Amino acid sequence: MNKKVVTLGEMLLRLSTNNNNRFITSKSFDIHFGGAEINVGVNLANLGLNSYVITKVPNNDIGTASVNYLKSHGVYTDYVKTGSERLGIYFLEQGTSLRNSKVIYDRADSAFCNIDIDELDIDEILENTDLFHVSGITLTLSEKTFELSKLILQKCKEKNITTSFDFNYRSKLWTLQEAKEKIVEILPYVDIAFAGYLDFINILGFKTDATNLMDTYKDLYPKVAEKYNFKYIVSSMRDVISASKNNYKCILFHNDNIYESKQYQIDIVDRVGSGDAFTSGFLYSFLTSDDNNYRIQFAAASAAIKHTIVGDANLTTKEEIENLFNSDSFEIGR
Amino acid sequence: MNKKVVTLGEMLLRLSTNNNNRFITSKSFDIHFGGAEINVGVNLANLGLNSYVITKVPNNDIGTASVNYLKSHGVYTDYVKTGSERLGIYFLEQGTSLRNSKVIYDRADSAFCNIDIDELDIDEILENTDLFHVSGITLTLSEKTFELSKLILQKCKEKNITTSFDFNYRSKLWTLQEAKEKIVEILPYVDIAFAGYLDFINILGFKTDATNLMDTYKDLYPKVAEKYNFKYIVSSMRDVISASKNNYKCILFHNDNIYESKQYQIDIVDRVGSGDAFTSGFLYSFLTSDDNNYRIQFAAASAAIKHTIVGDANLTTKEEIENLFNSDSFEIGR
Amino acid sequence: MNKKVVTLGEMLLRLSTNNNNRFITSKSFDIHFGGAEINVGVNLANLGLNSYVITKVPNNDIGTASVNYLKSHGVYTDYVKTGSERLGIYFLEQGTSLRNSKVIYDRADSAFCNIDIDELDIDEILENTDLFHVSGITLTLSEKTFELSKLILQKCKEKNITTSFDFNYRSKLWTLQEAKEKIVEILPYVDIAFAGYLDFINILGFKTDATNLMDTYKDLYPKVAEKYNFKYIVSSMRDVISASKNNYKCILFHNDNIYESKQYQIDIVDRVGSGDAFTSGFLYSFLTSDDNNYRIQFAAASAAIKHTIVGDANLTTKEEIENLFNSDSFEIGR
Amino acid sequence: MNKKVVTLGEMLLRLSTNNNNRFITSKSFDIHFGGAEINVGVNLANLGLNSYVITKVPNNDIGTASVNYLKSHGVYTDYVKTGSERLGIYFLEQGTSLRNSKVIYDRADSAFCNIDIDELDIDEILENTDLFHVSGITLTLSEKTFELSKLILQKCKEKNITTSFDFNYRSKLWTLQEAKEKIVEILPYVDIAFAGYLDFINILGFKTDATNLMDTYKDLYPKVAEKYNFKYIVSSMRDVISASKNNYKCILFHNDNIYESKQYQIDIVDRVGSGDAFTSGFLYSFLTSDDNNYRIQFAAASAAIKHTIVGDANLTTKEEIENLFNSDSFEIGR
Amino acid sequence: MNKKVVTLGEMLLRLSTNNNNRFITSKSFDIHFGGAEINVGVNLANLGLNSYVITKVPNNDIGTASVNYLKSHGVYTDYVKTGSERLGIYFLEQGTSLRNSKVIYDRADSAFCNIDIDELDIDEILENTDLFHVSGITLTLSEKTFELSKLILQKCKEKNITTSFDFNYRSKLWTLQEAKEKIVEILPYVDIAFAGYLDFINILGFKTDATNLMDTYKDLYPKVAEKYNFKYIVSSMRDVISASKNNYKCILFHNDNIYESKQYQIDIVDRVGSGDAFTSGFLYSFLTSDDNNYRIQFAAASAAIKHTIVGDANLTTKEEIENLFNSDSFEIGR
Amino acid sequence: MNKKVVTLGEMLLRLSTNNNNRFITSKSFDIHFGGAEINVGVNLANLGLNSYVITKVPNNDIGTASVNYLKSHGVYTDYVKTGSERLGIYFLEQGTSLRNSKVIYDRADSAFCNIDIDELDIDEILENTDLFHVSGITLTLSEKTFELSKLILQKCKEKNITTSFDFNYRSKLWTLQEAKEKIVEILPYVDIAFAGYLDFINILGFKTDATNLMDTYKDLYPKVAEKYNFKYIVSSMRDVISASKNNYKCILFHNDNIYESKQYQIDIVDRVGSGDAFTSGFLYSFLTSDDNNYRIQFAAASAAIKHTIVGDANLTTKEEIENLFNSDSFEIGR
């Protein structure tokens, strides 16, 4: 039977420059919709799971357009609330070559920030749910979204529903100290953690003497997993050659083993959402396969191919993802 | 010597649909900048006056783009402050034929709402100023912008600088009662009032038994002018045939005389900013001519031609405006 | 409780010229999806009914895009089959002023033409169904689609489900004689007939001596309704001023009474689908109101506003439709 | 056998604004090719005649693009010379409603201005030629183009080839006095004259006491035809309602008879080239029919439909033109 | 004297995504025309040969547009037939980086598939013809196109006209077995064969023990050439780094000698038609030069530069091609 | 206090192809404004200096648009004259990968070529000026622009204003011999010379036996600097991998020392104006810093980032430039 996944997060209107224009030379913005957990939800629906997102959008045509976007990719919108005044916005100037991308957030006081626990029947939402996912961004948006996140995670624990958390630390949204306080509070309810080793060091305060990347994983991840009782830690490694060229690979830690994906050299069309494609890639393979090697290969290839797709969502297929990691081409060093 | 004009108002980012798309079918938004008093300032600079706007924009690339827009049309940006977080936005779905335009405001807590009187040296600003203009929109945005408007109007009165006020009532921004309270407070400092007769009835509480438009003017305007000591009342009359076809004319009340413009039948390209083009048209002709017939013809033709120009500003020339009202064509009933 | 409606018809890929280009000057085609019954289904979902379409699309990305389109507007796609080779196409050159629109069909042997009765569980489909709709186009596409249409209509009759049929005669698809043979076969199962009086004369062979339009209705419609046992006959009247300007009104015949809508003068953005917007407008008001005057006003305003909306579907709201017929503006002769 | 027509004129690169932009708001120009006699040549090829143009373009990719344009519509390019430095340019800002179109010429010293008589073998060119056409624009561009025009006209006279001349007076290119001097010199070699009655008065110095349009024709045209020995005089009458709405009709004078076309009310997409479509419409019908009523109807309908087609050329078909004047619709007053 | 070349093949309407969109995110398709032998014909006309294509297009505006395309690049359209119902279509999603291109064919029952031998006067067509070219695609489209291909090839043999055949094997169009049966039947009439060594192994059943590429050529090509009496075998070698980066070189086998081109590293704009640019590059240099080194360099550079040009045709010049292979830059390993 | 810089040069209208189109496939041109010294002026204003350009544009809307462009980026337009007939044009076909860019100049007899010394009050212009910049292009456009350049340079020398000259040799504009004659005449008045070592050899006739690049600098630059009394020689080195990939670095010679920048590997979006971004980068850092290492790093990073920005101007910020050369990324060989 098809798995049910629920994500909780802010729907954002993305307004991005086009044709290599900068913000100050643009005469039009391309319209996309996104948001970390929204992207995960869309990607999972696109891959065929029963995907529900909990969010809130204003009761106007911008809000309606964002809901139509969800529907068009098969996301179930039963838990999408309407009300409040505005949809959060982020402006994106796509970088290229030596010029970095720029993001301007205009998301304060969005409809989602004002979502009330009372608007939702959480027990009904979690009925038959196989997995719940949320990221650090939702923790930081408002007190309401933090409390809601925590409550759902706790209920999942009670109901034995797998929980997934992506640290998703953004210095534009909170300080390391603020992040630590909030994140530590919810980690006890997390089964699968998406994070980089620097998150463990900078946010959670772990230390290591390891001098290379693999040793760092081997040293750090068992300690982290033990302390927070994570069943899986999943990390991506990005080597930035330029704004339009990255090398990319992923690793998975589970039961004291580390599983590595292939590494990809990527010419980037749109990097935004590649982290969420990594997350959704892992969650999909986690829910449909028991093979940790397959899972991490799927996660990495899912993220890699996202870089070639315009918009926040990973509008690809299971076949394209599998072909990518099964193919001989594209791997660095072949 | 060239006249100096100062306007005070909010800079808005306009995001408008294109190619007859609706909000829910749009894949891109066209970028324009506008705002009632901004438009008046741009139009006057475009016609050759020394035009300054007082406003505030965030210190990011969206703010910079808006300032570049002002500069490109020759507006002096010495009184443009930077700071706070966001530029106000309005989303515009252009209507056509039987389908009306739609506007969604997302302008709460904009940089301009947070402008402080301390940021400005008003005495210096008003030095050599010939005319100051503000509209009802600025009165309603925040307590700060109301107080600033009032203070500048008072100072103008002291310094014998002509003041101009456009009622510009928008039911989306405030109620009639709120409007009345704020507007009445500043009317004593106003020389030139841009308003419709319905504003006098609905907001200021005047009454009339007149049964046609011209009688209404003749009955109402002398009473209004007397009570508030207006030197000029300037009104436009719009007859809406459809969202893309309007009839349009203007009248001027001065010293108990009423001056009428020609009436135009207009196929509309972009109606937004036509009211500001009417205002700027009158202010330009007021500052450059003593002929009331010329002034109201110029105001009406300025507004009429604006409907054919994309964006908020009236990017036309004095010659085009004069040719329009001097030409035999285009008048209804010729 | 929300009403369930089922329509049966071909999904078409529409490739239309833009920016007033002709076919021979076009460098790109805009992509839309449509088809008579598809449009009715999308319009009804957009207005909030539980709308299902029965159709078949190829198992490729063009087919997937068409299904995503249905989903985005809330159509339930449970009865959309995949298979066969191709999606039917129609090329559209939008006319304007003195230049007429042009349509080139390339829909032979489409996936829908090859739909098999065995692919569908018709009893399950009709469970809880309130209304079934099909048009003459589906009758003509293939023997399979004709037989399927007839079977469903018969089952509806047995199950007491209201049936709706739009004659939708297209001389490019079949001759009057072919139309007559097929249509007469299914008319016994039809409750609501959408047709013009010329359809009754040319296809069904009725005659009248009436010399004006209203007399024609009064003479002809009772005879037609009696012979075929129609509960409702709904007709639209279009007066073509030019390719971009039409006058439009509708009438409803029910229980020997004729109900008339307002007449609209329309500047046309996209006329395609206005007939389907008329149909869906009537069906929506039929299912949600008992007032025949409201129903025909809703149908006409629904069709009228469609002419201003790009694409095949009537992406408007109940409020916009009601505002249009309740407003004083826009009616001819006001 | 298919008729051979030769025209002589300048190829121009047209750079036009789009989406209702003005010159000062444009970020791109649409590319078209045109020129009075070029348009006539393209239109005649498009209608199926053997059409040759004599012109000269620079030996660069802009020149090549212009030649490909000719070829794409079936014009024979055997007499297109290459050399010199630049292609003439005209910038076009499309007007709409109350706002007039603007044209900026940048055509000085173009390749065509520098065409040498020696580059051409005129006797070979005129072999089997049925009609030669040139307009006043070519007379004014340079001494070389004037001399070439005159020489070819003279040779036509000797060879009994029908000649056609369009006055095409443009005040931006020459004064009335300059026009008179040049035009009078070539009129003796002209069989068919395209001109308005004002050309006869202002340029040729004719006078009339007639007080309405038809009387003017009846008084003036016999005198003009007699003096210059014109076989046909063909005139169009344009009533400008606005920049986007014109009324239009044509008349033909031949053997002391006046033939009138229907009058059309036109919503304008692109007015440029409508005069050339009038000319080519007449020349086509002149060469393929003996019926003066058909000829003038064809000329007028050809011009009328051109207003709905983007670009300089009249990319329509004989069928569309005939349908237009045979249809009941579209005529004013129906 | 200019050489006359005739090709036989299907004209296709190409509808391709733009701006990195996928099929399911596209709102418009770019319009191009192509088809293997059409491309060869256009490329040769563009290089200056007298190029004729034999094809058939429907008698509608899509067909007309495709013929105008041929004319615009100087192809002679005397042998283009009109009739039947539809132009074949292929949808193209351009890949990039890790994401491969996708092609969806919708070409069944196209006008060209229905071309009749009786529609053509083959003897007249072949008069003065220097070379005839066809590819495997034409063999597979229909029985009619196969028989026509074979007949013309046979007639060429009789008339001593050089024949050229490109294997062009596409697994979407036929199986290896089907290909073998048809191809073997026409090989006796072929002088120049464009194929890869895998075609010889997989389709023709040759075998080799060679373990590297060059040995394979040396072993295989003499055997193939001998068996089928080929005068020239021309092959390209493509090394796919990613969907947007390929390495490319070509080899020529003639009289037991192998000639190699430079190898190019290519950043790809549009790969479609690069094989046809290779073919046309060789055929052009074959017909205009005797130097085998020049020929294969010209073929390879022609194909290489095609990858940078949008659309199916190789719209470059002889000079650009020669500059590319004469330049020091661009070669791998410099 | 902010530094005042004056540049002298031609304003050009740039018409460039888009979406990888070639000239012969383009349907629109993107509009930009540029010109060597114009670009330097815009870049310096954009970085915050008081930047004035001396130029002349026609008194039409194309001219106005070009002046608005200057204003929008903060350039002072007090010394921009209007008059004469035309703005110079250059057509740009952007190259990519193996296909080179193409430029077609159409700038003969531009308004700037006709600028008169009498139109300018040079003493007033040079008041408070810190630096004057001109390039070889202005020397070659007309006798008038040469004389004007020379006069201003001489006046600068008298007034002790720093002068900067960019050789900017373009073989399309003059021969080496012509360049030499003009350039040598003005070199005595130059303080800062932007040139490559090949300019010194080919134009000024210097010789060297050095066999590598660094030795060439060491040998040649002291001799050149001594002979012409240059205070600074600034050179860029470009290694062309393909039309879309270049390696780039710069060196500075001052007081017998050579300072080198980092080398960048650049994926090119728009190479035009990168030389002017190099010049403006150096001039900005020269006027705001005393550190030669900082100056040459700033110049190189300014040029490098320009390659990623569409249009002629370097619309970046001081922070982005500094971040680029301070960052570890992007340098070749890291």
3-class secondary structure per residue, E209-257: CCCCHHHHHHHHHHHHHHHHCCCEEEEEEEEEEECCEEEEEEEEEECCE
Please give the average per-residue pLDDT across F274-299, as a whole number: 98
Is residue B162 a contact partner of residue B132, using CB atoms and an 8 Å limit? yes
Predicted complex: ipTM over 0.90: yes
Is residue C95 a contact partner of residue C122, using CB atoms and an 8 Å limit? no
Across B75-99, b (16+ Cβ under 10 Å) vs e yields bbbebbbeebebbbbbbbbbbbbbb
Question: Is the confidence at residue A328, as pLDDT, over 90?
Answer: no
- Please state, rounded to an integer, the average pLDDT across all residues of chain A: 96
E241 touches chain A (CB under 8 A): yes
Contacts of E89 in chain C (CB under 8 A): 89, 106
Please give the average per-residue pLDDT across A91-115, as a whole number: 97
Are E96 and A308 in contact (CB < 8 Å)? yes
Question: Is the confidence at residue F333, as pLDDT, over 50?
Answer: no
What's the average pLDDT block by block, 10 residues per block, for chain B (334 residues)?
93 97 98 98 98 98 98 98 96 96 97 97 98 98 98 98 97 92 97 97 95 93 97 96 95 97 96 98 98 98 98 98 85 50
Measured distance CA(A71)–CA(A42) in Å, rounded = 9
Triad A70, A72, A75: Cα angle to 5°: 45
B19 touches chain C (CB under 8 A): yes
Q: How confident is the model at residue A330 (pLDDT cuts 50, 70, 90)?
A: low
Q: In Å, how far is F131's CA from the nearest CA of chain D?
A: 31
Q: How confident is the model at residue F327 (pLDDT cuts 50, 70, 90)?
A: confident
Are C72 and A68 in contact (CB < 8 Å)? yes
What percentage of chain F carries pLDDT values higher than 90?
96
**If you ran DSSP here, which 8-state letter would residue A309 be given?**
S
**Two tokens, residue E36:** 């293997």
Measured distance CA(C238)–CA(C198) in Å, rounded = 13
Is residue B303 a contact partner of residue B248, using CB atoms and an 8 Å limit? yes
Of A284-288, D212-216, F103-107, F133-137, minimum mean pLDDT range? D212-216
CA-CA distances (angstroms) from residue D257 to D200, D221, D222, D252, E260? Answer: 18, 10, 9, 8, 76
Measured distance CA(A216)–CA(A208) in Å, rounded = 7
Are D93 and F61 in contact (CB < 8 Å)? yes
Q: In Å, how far is D67's CA from the nearest CA of chain E?
A: 8
E309 touches chain C (CB under 8 A): no
Measured distance CA(D30)–CA(D23) in Å, rounded = 12
Distance of CA C308 to the CA centre of its chain: 17
pLDDT in tens, E53-109: 999 999 999 999 999 999 999 999 999 999 999 999 999 999 999 999 999 999 999
- Strand B50-57 relative to strand B28-34, pairing: unpaired
Question: Is the confidence at residue F225, as pLDDT, over 80?
Answer: yes
Residue of D29, D85, D109 lying closest to F15 (CB–CB): D29
Across B188-227, b (16+ Cβ under 10 Å) vs e yields ebbbbbbbebebbeebbebebeeeeeeebbeebbeebbee
Query: What residue has token string 């695609």?
Result: E137
Is residue E149 a contact partner of residue E134, using CB atoms and an 8 Å limit? yes
Distance of CA E136 to the CA centre of its chain: 9
B21 touches chain C (CB under 8 A): yes
Residue in chain C lying closest to A69 (CA): C72
Contacts of F102 in chain D (CB under 8 A): 61
Are C64 and E93 in contact (CB < 8 Å)? no
Residue in chain E lying closest to D74 (CA): E71
Residue of F269, F315, F320 lying closest to A97 (CB–CB): F269
F96 touches chain E (CB under 8 A): yes
Are F72 and B74 in contact (CB < 8 Å)? no
Q: In Å, how far is E95's CA from the nearest CA of chain A?
A: 8
F60 touches chain B (CB under 8 A): no
pLDDT value of position B327: 86
Chains that touch B (3 or more CB pairs under 8 A): A, C, D, F
D316 touches chain C (CB under 8 A): yes
A28 touches chain F (CB under 8 A): no
For chain F, the farthest-separated pair of C-alpha atoms sits apart, in whole angstroms, at 55
E2 touches chain D (CB under 8 A): no
Q: In Å, how far is F327's CA from the nearest CA of chain E?
A: 26
- C40 phi, psi to nearest 5 deg: -60, -45
pLDDT in tens, A175-234: 999 999 999 999 999 999 999 999 999 999 999 999 999 999 999 999 999 999 999 999
Across A49-84, b (16+ Cβ under 10 Å) vs e yields bbbbbbbbbbebbbbbbbbbbbbbbbbbbebbbeeb
pLDDT value of position D27: 97
C98 touches chain D (CB under 8 A): yes
| Nearest in space to F284 (alpha carbons), one of F258, F317, F262, F260 | F317
Are F104 and D61 in contact (CB < 8 Å)? yes
**Two tokens, residue B200:** 């006098």
- Which run of H or of E encompasses A281? helix A274-288
Measured distance CA(D40)–CA(E155) in Å, rounded = 43
Residue of C265, C305, C311 lying closest to B99 (CB–CB): C305
Are C68 and A72 in contact (CB < 8 Å)? yes
Question: Is the confidence at residue C330, as pLDDT, over 60?
Answer: no
| Nearest in space to D165 (alpha carbons), one of D200, D143, D132 | D132
E269 touches chain F (CB under 8 A): yes
Contacts of F69 in chain B (CB under 8 A): 72
| Nearest in space to C305 (alpha carbons), one of B100, B21, B16 | B100
Residue in chain A lying closest to E20 (CA): A310
Measured distance CA(E191)–CA(E166) in Å, rounded = 11
Q: In Å, how far is F268's CA from the nearest CA of chain E?
A: 12
pLDDT value of position A327: 86
Residue of B270, B309, B329 lying closest to D240 (CB–CB): B329
Question: Is the confidence at residue D329, as pLDDT, over 80?
Answer: no
Is residue A238 a contact partner of residue A250, using CB atoms and an 8 Å limit? no
D150 touches chain B (CB under 8 A): no
pLDDT value of position D327: 86
Chains that touch D (3 or more CB pairs under 8 A): B, C, E, F
Measured distance CA(A76)–CA(A222) in Å, rounded = 37
Angle between helices F274-288 and F36-46 (to 10 degrees): 50
Are D71 and E72 in contact (CB < 8 Å)? yes
- Strand A232-242 relative to strand E232-242, pairing: unpaired
Measured distance CA(C286)–CA(C292) in Å, rounded = 8
B71 touches chain F (CB under 8 A): yes
Q: How confident is the model at residue A333 (pLDDT cuts 50, 70, 90)?
A: very low
Measured distance CA(F314)–CA(F39) in Å, rounded = 8
Question: Is the confidence at residue C205, as pLDDT, over 70?
Answer: yes
Q: In Å, how far is C330's CA from the nearest CA of chain B?
A: 6
Question: Is the confidence at residue C134, as pLDDT, over 60?
Answer: yes
Is residue C23 a contact partner of residue E62, using CB atoms and an 8 Å limit? yes
**Two tokens, residue F19:** 């979406």
Across the beta sheet with E88-93, what order do the strands follow? C102-106, C88-93, C12-16, C28-34, E28-34, E12-16, E88-93, E102-106
| Nearest in space to E305 (alpha carbons), one of E334, E328, E273 | E273
What is the number of H-type helices and E-type strands within chain F?
Answer: 11, 14
Is residue D66 a contact partner of residue D95, using CB atoms and an 8 Å limit? no
| Nearest in space to C45 (alpha carbons), one of C256, C276, C327 | C276
Residue in chain C lying closest to B243 (CA): C330
Strand partners, C239: C247
E55: left (phi over 0), alpha (psi -120 to 50) or beta: beta
Are A71 and C69 in contact (CB < 8 Å)? no
- Which run of H or of E encompasses A37? helix A36-46
pLDDT value of position E119: 97
Measured distance CA(B236)–CA(B195) in Å, rounded = 8
Measured distance CA(A329)–CA(B15) in Å, rounded = 43
Are D266 and C97 in contact (CB < 8 Å)? yes
Strand partners, A55: A80
Is residue A277 a contact partner of residue A260, using CB atoms and an 8 Å limit? no
Measured distance CA(A298)–CA(A286) in Å, rounded = 10
F311 touches chain A (CB under 8 A): yes
pLDDT value of position B20: 96
Are C108 and E86 in contact (CB < 8 Å)? yes
Contacts of C72 in chain A (CB under 8 A): 68-69, 71-72
Are B72 and F72 in contact (CB < 8 Å)? yes
- F283 phi, psi to nearest 5 deg: -65, -40
Is residue B11 a contact partner of residue B79, using CB atoms and an 8 Å limit? no
Mutate to test the interface with B, among A18, A23, A32 (most CBs of B within 10 A): A23
CA dihedral F249, F255, F257, F262 (to 10 degrees): -20
Residue in chain D lying closest to B324 (CA): D98
Is residue B225 a contact partner of residue B184, using CB atoms and an 8 Å limit? no
Residue in chain D lying closest to F88 (CA): D106
Query: What residue has token string 């796919």?
Result: E240
Are F72 and B71 in contact (CB < 8 Å)? yes
**Two tokens, residue C100:** 């007429």
Mutate to test the interface with D, among C22, C93, C94, C99 (most CBs of D within 10 A): C99
Residue of B264, B269, B304 lying closest to D96 (CB–CB): B269
Measured distance CA(D25)–CA(D90) in Å, rounded = 17
pLDDT in tens, A143-183: 999 999 999 999 999 999 999 999 999 998 999 999 999 99
B100 touches chain A (CB under 8 A): no
Question: Is the confidence at residue D86, as pLDDT, over 70?
Answer: yes
Residues 6+ apart with CB under 8 A from C11: C33, C34, C35, C38, C53, C55, C56, C57, C66, C87, C88, C112
Measured distance CA(A329)–CA(B33) in Å, rounded = 48
Question: Is the confidence at residue A45, as pLDDT, over 70?
Answer: yes
Question: Is the confidence at residue A334, as pLDDT, over 50?
Answer: no
* Long-range Cβ contacts of D240-247 (<8 Å, 24+ apart): D240/B329, D241/B329, D242/B267, D242/B329, D242/B330, D242/D97, D242/D98, D243/D95, D243/D96, D243/D97, D243/D98, D243/D99, D243/D100, D243/D101, D243/D268, D244/B267, D244/D95, D244/D96, D244/D97, D244/D268, D245/B267, D246/D271, D246/D307, D247/D332
Q: In Å, how far is B199's CA from the nearest CA of chain D?
A: 29
Give the D window 194-213 contacts with B, CB below 8 Å. Answer: none
What percentage of chain D carries pLDDT values higher than 70?
98
The CATH code of domain F4-326 reads: 3.40.1190.20
Strand partners, B265: B247
pLDDT value of position E327: 86
Q: In Å, how far is D277's CA from the nearest CA of chain B?
A: 25
Q: How many CB atoms lie within 10 A of CB A175?
A: 10
Burial class (CB in 10 A: 0-12, 13-18, 19+), E157: middle
